[in-house]
């Protein structure tokens, strides 16, 4: 482009606006320009008709109305200079600086310099001469004059056209007759309407947009068309035109052509079908057939607005016509068309007028609904929806409820249903539907700042406060409320239950299907649930999930965005390096996951490049991480600082790596800040955590944080580029850094990476319980320990981690179990040095059977064994102390663990945010008195932490999807999570269950006396027999199995027996199973032993000898007590030793005396019935065992040559019995 001022333009440059030439920052210049763009543009000779939002000629390319300013102010009433031209800016909004640049054909840097000089920054004057400026003014004045002349001409033609439309309307109306019409007949509407009886020609004039000349035009109105007369929405007494519906369909489009008479001002047009004037409602619809159907179904007076846009544009003027009426907007359900224009238009109009919006349940408009379901059903559905619209219901002192279908007006001027607003506009501001003041949409409700209360969604037609209170009082066994809700199959009861459980939706009740499934378990013949209840549940679940996404989801539209691809399984960093080395942006935010080369490929390359100039600085918040980075980059570690180095520059020491903890030391701060200001490049790794630490840590006081921020800003002013890297980058964190460093959107680049391919699976179980010891996780870990499967357990709360570790160490003294927390490291019950353990975590964990850890394994630490040591991972998270991101980090530290079981435990009250929004309201007030920027950001970070807690479960589930985990979500079986059943227990069940309770337990006797239902929740948790009963109930357990499950020693014995059997069966899931089976065989242990039999004294002695010979190996297998390996232990009698050993495996042992003449004592072994069934063991009864033994003995005697008589005498049997034994 040539320079319009006549001067030679500087070479094209891609550099962004830079404030380095000025004493003040770029933001100061931008602020000074607010409200002065009329003055600035006139000074530079750029004249527009007016600095308003009206369409005008473009000062660059001309045109007629392709240019306008946008009034999007930071200060009330002042234009910010943003403009749009369909040609020059290609329809995109650009700022005033860009307009000057395009007008003169100069680059952004020179433009910014000139505007800054004019505004008094830098003390220089503009280089534009006065003569050049006057020429530009004259040229633009001529263009404005031509534009005004053309506008006046168009206005006269339009006025003539509108007058003609009125004339032709009255003329055509006089030739119409009332009769039925094919258009309505096809829709089963027999009403008589006005139909034209002759052909009419409408003549008018208009300007040809291409030639700018006036042309004569005609419009043909055919005979047989429906005539629909329009009146002015502001004055119904005034006719302004008409619309016609053809007498036949268009054969190509298969639609009835509809068009208004030429000159009809559609923007002001409505058609009125009179109805019952005593009704409190006025119906608003789009189309003609819909208007007739609604009038038939309701009797209302109905207004037709021609199209969906008219509902919004004309709503307030219609309300002025009927100030005492409530407007009902009958919108179309356009979901089947892939958009929601019909619904949106209705809710827009309703929100603007405080009216109601009613949408058909099925696809189409209300006339389509009538055609399918009939007029009676249509009236019933409309009446049902109208019941929803009642005054706000006071639920409590700080909570009011309105219909989930209510119309909500957003601050951008658009309307939405309460349901849609909660799901799709979470965190947006809106107009309070109660007071008209400021409000904010949150996860599942609206917080009103003016009312200082929560506005909750309700299904008003089903809301019954008495039933809800009754449901709240129903307490006792799990599931009793579900049983109460299905009684009588009343929808109000079902809704009362949903209302009481609202805090649990998206928690342990993950969706409407789960709610339905829980109800069906208590309804003998099934139960039907109202769609409104499902809609209510969907709303609560989806709104919380979508709000949770805002905690972690990146806004790639706000900033310039670069997406890095995967090539052959590796991330391609070259595009990011090219952009970075061009130094186009002042800040680059990088979001890449671990092991994608963020440090080795990206930071290292740029760090080396920076050291060829002034040097680079790396900052992180953890000592461990910064040490690893310093080793990788081969740079100076700041912990090694001494005064000798105070005179060196960054490039001389090959850059610097510093932990924020080092920065706390006062004797190092000044030198560090000096080096930071010198830096050519600054890298902040784990930038989200650095931000939190810098602004919320007690160690980092306010002055220190401000000095650090100021030093970074000076470095940027001097030309440095700052890089923020974090696997868990968030939009909020980017925005906070942007505020602190005073950066513009166009000075920031966001780099994201295509995630690596993963094959991770995770089972997620949600529950409202916080009974860690009752979860299935602990039971699964116990089984893994028995089966020699190394595992890891991530526990959020240190106290609970210690309790679980103590329990498992006590149960498995021979296992290598380590507890690693933020304060200690305990290995097999003995404390060890935690720092040394973490520093050498790869080797330290190489032979561990179970690693239990808390958040101490954080940034900079990862575990990856070549032999994939840990086969299974477990997690117990609540969100009380850590965010969903931090909990996921605890899992990601274990690179080889691909299979996880996670239990998410929460309290429903944590899922409410009202009190948090009270804090937001106080922040809003505080901002009015201009507090320090750092204080505001720190408050927002603390608020975000609490919001993370409230939205923990949906946020965690969303992150799992983002990281490509294959997720299986489920509701917890209550045995696993609480030890109480999910089903209601009747009196008959109680009696049956009591028989399954081991009578020797005192709690069982107590239970029999006071009855099962008499237990409180606290008693049930502490009562051992409750677990037995519930397990019996859920698994259809036998009485013996329930007995064994209840007793810890019996349960452990069954585990040992199962382990022994699986080894003998060579179960492939057991590590080194062949070696272990060989050990058992050498000890004389085989599957033949696992059956009912009698061991003779000789067999007992042999078995004792063989077992003792392999005692150390059997102890390692946990099949023999450790005391038998002690050297000085006195020997035990074989019968005593074998008896004790078999009892430890769950066998039932009895000492029997054999028949004469030997009369020796033998061990009678019997496998317990539950284990026979559980392990599918083939066993014989003792009668069968004894018969088999007699048969074997008889055959031995016969082979030795004894006669039947001799054998009978020896075995004390008859001759006939011996004959039968030897023959079979």
214-221/177-179 β-pairing: unpaired
CA distance linking residue 1064 with residue 1057, whole number of Å: 11
DSSP character string of 556-585:
TTTSEEEEEPEETTEE--HHHHHHHHHT--
- Among the ranges given (177-181, 447-451, 947-951, 1205-1209), the one the predictor scored with the smallest mean pLDDT: 947-951
3-state secondary structure of 5: coil
Instruction: List the structure tokens of 399.
Output: 């909570």
E strands in 345-417: 356-358, 393-396, 399-403, 407-409, 415-417
Q: Are 844 and 740 in contact (CB under 8 A)?
A: no
- Domain 560-753 CATH superfamily: P-loop containing nucleotide triphosphate hydrolases (3.40.50.300)
Intrachain domains 560-753 and 761-910 with the same fold: yes
Higher pLDDT, 295 or 71: 295
Q: What is the mean pLDDT of residues 501-511?
A: 82
Q: Which long-range contacts (CB under 8 A, 24 or more apart) does 535-538 make?
A: 535/404, 535/419, 535/459, 536/404, 536/457, 536/458, 536/459, 536/495, 536/498, 537/498, 537/505, 537/511, 537/512, 538/423, 538/511, 538/512
828 in Cβ contact with 809 (< 8 Å):
yes
Mean pLDDT of all residues in 60-89:
63
Q: What is the DSSP string of 27-52?
A: HHHHHHHTT-HHHHHHHTT---S-SS
Is residue 920 over pLDDT 60? no
DSSP per residue, 256-296: --EEEPTT--GGGEEEEE---TTSSEEEEESSHHHHHHHHH
pLDDT, greater one: 383 or 252: 383
Q: From CA 1007, how far away is CA 1218, in angstroms rounded?
A: 55
Rounded distance between C-alpha atoms, residue 352 and residue 347, angstroms:
8
Statement: residue 671 has pLDDT above 50:
yes
pLDDT band for position 282 (cuts 50, 70, 90): very high
993-1009 burial by CB neighbour count: b if 16+ within 10 A, else e? Answer: bbebbbeebebbeebbe
> 56-60, 789-793, 806-810, 1206-1210 — which is least confidently predicted?
56-60
Q: Is the dihedral of CA 1114, 1117, 1119, 1121 positive or negative?
A: positive
Structure tokens at 1084: 């004389």
- Other CB atoms closer than 10 Å to residue 83's CB: what's the count? 25
CA gap 807, 804 in Å, rounded: 5
Residue for token digits 């003027």? 317
**pLDDT, tens digit, for every residue of 629-646?**
888 888 888 777 665 456
pLDDT digit string, tens, across residues 103-149: 777 777 778 877 887 777 654 444 556 676 677 667 666 766 776 77
Assess contact for 715 and 682: CB atoms under 8 A.
yes
1023 vs 444: CA distance, rounded Å: 38
What pLDDT is recorded for position 26?
A: 62
Residue 1034 has pLDDT above 50, yes or no: no
Is residue 1142 helix, strand or coil? helix
Q: Which residue has 């949903």 as its token pair?
A: 498
Q: Which residue has the tokens 């329990």?
A: 807
The string of pLDDT tens digits covering residues 2-41 is 333 333 333 333 333 333 333 345 666 776 777 677 778 8
Grouping H, G, I as helix, E, B as strand and the rest as coil, residue 446 is strand
Measured CA distances, 1184 to 333, 827, 1092, 1191 (Å): 76, 51, 9, 10
156, exposed or middle or buried, with CB in 10 Å at 0-12, 13-18, 19+? exposed
Q: Give the DSSP per-residue string, 981-1032.
A: -SS---HHHHHHHHHTS-TTSHHHHHHHHH-GGG--HHHHHH-HHHHHHHHH
CA distance 346 to 356: 8
Q: Does the pLDDT of residue 618 top 90, yes or no?
A: yes
Dist CA 574 CA 589 (whole Å): 16
- pLDDT above 50: residue 1104: yes
Verify cis geometry, omega within 30 degrees of 0, for the bond prior to 1157. yes
pLDDT over 80 (residue 935): no
Calculate mean pLDDT across residues 1212-1223: 79
Of all residues in the chain, the percent with pLDDT exceeding 90 is: 21
- Return the CATH class of domain 761-910: alpha beta
Query: Is the CATH code 3.40.605.10 the one for domain 274-380?
Result: no
Summarised one tens digit per residue, pLDDT across range 1174-1208 is 677 766 555 666 677 777 788 888 888 888 888 88
pLDDT at 562: 93
What pLDDT, on the 0 to 100 scale, is given for residue 272? Answer: 95
pLDDT classification of 513: cutoffs 50, 70, 90 = confident
pLDDT(990) > 60:
no
Confirm if 1108 and 1124 have CB atoms less than 8 A apart. Answer: yes
Could you tell me which of 1048, 1049, 1076, 1050 has the C-alpha nearest to residue 1062? Answer: 1076
pTM above 0.85, yes or no: no
Residue 1034 or residue 140, greater confidence: 140
Q: Give the start-to-end residue ranges of the domains of the chain.
A: 26-128, 156-267, 274-380, 407-551, 560-753, 761-910, 1048-1179, 1189-1222
Query: End-to-end distance of the chain based on CA atoms, in angstroms?
Result: 113
Which residues are CB-contacts of 881 (< 8 A; sequence separation ≥ 6)? 796, 797, 855
């Amino acid at each position: 482009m040539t320079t319009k001022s006549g001067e030679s333009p500087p070479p094209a440059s891609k550099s962004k606006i830079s404030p380095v030439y000025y004493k003040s920052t770029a933001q100061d210049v931008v602020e000074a320009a607010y409200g002065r763009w009329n003055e600035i543009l006139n000074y530079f000779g750029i004249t527009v008709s007016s600095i308003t939002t009206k369409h005008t000629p473009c000062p660059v390319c001309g045109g007629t109305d392709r240019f306008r300013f946008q009034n999007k102010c930071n200060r009330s009433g002042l234009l910010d200079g943003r403009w749009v031209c369909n040609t020059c800016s290609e329809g995109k909004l650009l700022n005033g600086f860009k307009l000057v640049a395009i007008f003169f054909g100069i680059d952004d840097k020179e433009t910014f310099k000139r505007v800054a000089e004019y505004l008094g920054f830098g003390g220089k004057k503009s280089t534009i001469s006065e003569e050049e400026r006057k020429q530009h003014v004259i040229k633009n004045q001529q263009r404005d004059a031509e534009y005004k002349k053309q506008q006046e001409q168009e206005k006269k033609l339009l006025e003539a056209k509108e007058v003609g439309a009125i004339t032709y309307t009255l003329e055509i109306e006089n030739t119409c007759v009332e009769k039925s019409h094919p258009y309505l007949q096809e829709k089963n509407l027999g009403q008589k309407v006005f139909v034209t009886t002759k052909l009419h020609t409408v003549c008018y004039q208009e300007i040809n947009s291409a030639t700018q000349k006036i042309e004569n035009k005609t419009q043909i109105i055919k005979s047989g068309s429906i005539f629909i007369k329009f009146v002015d929405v502001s004055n119904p007494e005034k006719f302004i035109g008409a619309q016609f519906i053809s007498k036949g369909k268009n054969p190509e489009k298969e639609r009835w052509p509809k068009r208004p008479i030429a000159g009809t001002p559609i923007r002001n047009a409505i058609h009125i079908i009179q109805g019952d004037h005593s009704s409190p409602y006025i119906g608003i619809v789009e189309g003609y057939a819909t208007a007739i159907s609604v009038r038939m179904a309701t009797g209302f007076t109905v207004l037709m607005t021609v199209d969906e846009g008219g509902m919004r544009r004309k709503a307030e003027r219609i309300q002025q016509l009927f100030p005492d009426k409530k407007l009902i907007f009958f919108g179309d359900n356009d979901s089947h068309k892939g958009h929601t224009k019909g619904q949106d238009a209705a809710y827009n109009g309703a929100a603007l007028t405080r009216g109601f919006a009613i949408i058909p349940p099925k696809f189409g408009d209300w006339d389509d609904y009538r055609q399918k379901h009939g007029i009676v059903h249509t009236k019933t559905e409309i009446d049902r929806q109208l019941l929803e619209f009642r005054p706000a219901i006071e639920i409590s002192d700080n909570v009011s409820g309105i219909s989930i279908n209510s119309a909500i007006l957003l601050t951008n001027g658009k309307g939405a249903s309460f349901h849609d607003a909660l799901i799709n506009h979470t965190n947006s501001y809106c107009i309070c539907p109660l007071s008209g003041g400021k409000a904010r949409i949150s996860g599942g409700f609206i917080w009103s700042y003016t009312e200082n209360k929560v506005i909750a969604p309700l299904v008003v037609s089903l809301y019954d406060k008495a039933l809800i209170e009754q449901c709240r009082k129903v307490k006792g066994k799990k599931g009793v409320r579900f049983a109460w809700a299905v009684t009588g199959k009343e929808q109000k009861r079902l809704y009362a239950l949903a209302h009481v459980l609202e805090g649990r939706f998206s928690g342990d009740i993950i969706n409407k299907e789960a709610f339905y499934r829980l109800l069906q378990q208590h309804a003998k013949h099934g139960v039907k649930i109202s769609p409104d209840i499902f809609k209510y549940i969907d709303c609560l679940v989806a709104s919380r999930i979508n709000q949770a996404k805002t905690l972690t989801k990146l806004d790639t539209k706000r900033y310039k965005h670069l997406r890095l691809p995967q090539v052959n399984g590796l991330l391609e960093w070259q595009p990011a390096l090219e952009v970075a080395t061009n130094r186009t942006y002042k800040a680059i935010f990088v979001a890449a996951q671990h092991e994608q080369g963020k440090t080795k490929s990206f930071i290292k390359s740029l760090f080396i490049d920076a050291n060829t100039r002034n040097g680079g600085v790396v900052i992180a918040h953890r000592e461990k991480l910064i040490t690893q980075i310093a080793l990788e980059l081969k740079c100076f570690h700041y912990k090694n600082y001494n005064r000798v180095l105070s005179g060196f520059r960054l490039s001389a020491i090959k850059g610097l790596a510093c932990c924020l903890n080092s920065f706390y030391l006062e004797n190092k701060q000044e030198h560090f800040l000096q080096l930071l200001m010198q830096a050519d490049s600054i890298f902040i790794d784990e930038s989200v955590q650095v931000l939190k630490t810098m602004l919320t840590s007690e160690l980092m006081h306010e002055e220190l944080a401000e000095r650090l921020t100021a030093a970074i800003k000076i470095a940027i002013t001097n030309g440095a580029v700052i890089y923020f890297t974090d696997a868990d980058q968030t939009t909020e964190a980017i925005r906070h850094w942007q505020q602190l460093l005073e950066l513009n959107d166009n000075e920031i680049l966001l780099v994201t990476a295509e995630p690596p391919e993963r094959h991770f699976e995770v089972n997620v179980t949600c529950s409202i319980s916080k009974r860690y010891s009752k979860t299935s996780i602990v039971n699964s870990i116990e089984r893994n320990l028995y089966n020699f499967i190394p595992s890891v357990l991530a526990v959020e709360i240190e106290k609970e981690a210690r309790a679980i570790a103590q329990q498992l160490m006590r149960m498995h003294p021979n296992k290598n179990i380590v507890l690693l927390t933020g304060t200690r490291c305990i290995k097999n019950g003995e404390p060890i040095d935690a720092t040394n353990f973490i520093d050498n975590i790869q080797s330290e964990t190489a032979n561990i059977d179970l690693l239990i850890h808390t958040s101490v394994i954080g940034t900079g630490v990862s575990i990856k064994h070549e032999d994939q040591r840990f086969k299974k991972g477990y997690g117990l998270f609540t969100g009380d102390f850590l965010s969903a991101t931090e909990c996921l980090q605890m899992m990601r530290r274990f690179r080889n663990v691909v299979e996880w079981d996670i239990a998410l435990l929460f309290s429903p009250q944590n899922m409410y945010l009202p009190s948090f929004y009270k804090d937001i309201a106080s922040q809003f007030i505080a901002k009015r008195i201009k507090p320090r920027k750092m204080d505001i950001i720190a408050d927002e970070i603390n608020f975000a932490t609490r919001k993370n807690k409230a939205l923990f479960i949906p946020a965690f589930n969303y992150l799992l999807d983002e990281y490509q985990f294959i997720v299986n979500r489920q509701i917890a079986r209550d045995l696993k999570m609480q030890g109480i059943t999910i089903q209601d227990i009747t009196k008959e069940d109680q009696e049956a269950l009591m028989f399954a309770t081991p009578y020797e337990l005192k709690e069982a006797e107590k239970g029999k006396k006071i009855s099962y239902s008499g237990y409180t929740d606290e008693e049930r948790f502490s009562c051992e027999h409750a677990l037995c009963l519930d397990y019996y109930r859920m698994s259809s357990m036998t009485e013996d199995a329930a007995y064994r499950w209840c007793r810890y020693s019996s349960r452990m014995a069954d585990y040992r027996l199962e382990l022994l059997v699986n080894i003998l069966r060579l179960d492939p899931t057991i590590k080194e199973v062949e070696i272990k089976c060989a050990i058992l065989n050498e000890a004389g242990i085989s599957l033949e032993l696992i059956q009912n039999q009698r061991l003779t004294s000789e067999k007992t002695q042999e078995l004792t000898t063989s077992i003792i010979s392999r005692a150390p190996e059997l102890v390692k297998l946990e099949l023999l007590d450790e005391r038998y390996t002690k050297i000085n232990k006195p020997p035990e009698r074989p019968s005593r030793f074998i008896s004790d050993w078999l009892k430890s495996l769950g066998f039932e042992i009895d000492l029997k005396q054999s028949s004469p003449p030997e009369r020796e004592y033998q061990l009678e072994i019997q496998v317990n019935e539950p284990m026979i069934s559980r392990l599918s063991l083939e066993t014989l009864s003792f009668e069968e065992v004894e018969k088999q033994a007699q048969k074997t003995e008889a055959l031995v005697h016969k082979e030795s040559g004894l006669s039947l008589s001799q054998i009978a005498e020896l075995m004390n049997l008859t001759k006939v019995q011996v004959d039968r034994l030897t023959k079979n």
